[in-house]
């Protein structure tokens, strides 16, 4: 039985819910229950590399669309103190995770699988 999709009055309200993994999953499931497929919408909007948060905000609230690459680069730029705090190995892992997100999106971001190292 489909759940009730709550209408968000602002991008900020949606951002607050999207920041919680459980809420984000619920929102995604509610949209899927109604036949909204993110990949199809992104392709139709001409934004195949759009971040899954930004595209709905753009369509609903006319907010700017950021690509996954732009989001990853923004994290690196805004969180330089955190990156510098990490040891070299931890920094490399985090940069690899951000690269996976930028390249493949959140579908490649399943823990613990995302942490597996490819054989050399």
Backbone angles phi, psi at 30, to 5 degrees: -65, -40
CB proximity list for 52: less than 8 A, separation 6 or greater: 28, 38, 105, 106
Nearest CA to 109 out of 120, 98, 93 is that of 98
Residues 81 and 50 in one domain: no
| Per-residue model confidence as pLDDT tens digits over 9-58 | 788 888 888 888 888 888 888 888 888 888 888 888 888 888 888 888 88
1 belongs to a structural domain: no
Structural domain range at position 43: 11-61
CA-closest candidate to residue 12, choices 47, 61, 45: 61
Same domain, 53 and 78: no
15 lies in the same domain as 57:
yes
Residue where the block lists tokens 């009730």: 4
Number of independent structural domains in the chain:
2
- Tell me the pTM: 0.68
The residues that bridge with 50 in the sheet, in sequence order, are 67
């Amino acid at each position: 039985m489909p759940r009730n999709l709550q209408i968000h009055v602002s991008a900020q309200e949606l951002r607050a819910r999207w920041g919680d993994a459980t809420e984000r999953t619920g929102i995604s499931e509610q949209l899927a229950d109604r036949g909204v497929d993110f990949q199809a919408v992104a392709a139709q909007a001409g934004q195949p590399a759009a971040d899954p948060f930004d595209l709905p905000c753009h369509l609903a609230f006319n907010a700017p669309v950021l690509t996954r690459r732009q989001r990853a680069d923004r994290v690196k730029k805004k969180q330089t103190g955190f990156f510098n705090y990490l040891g070299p190995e931890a920094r490399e892992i985090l940069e690899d995770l951000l690269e996976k997100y930028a390249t493949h999106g959140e579908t490649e971001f399943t823990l613990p699988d995302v942490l597996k190292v490819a054989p050399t």
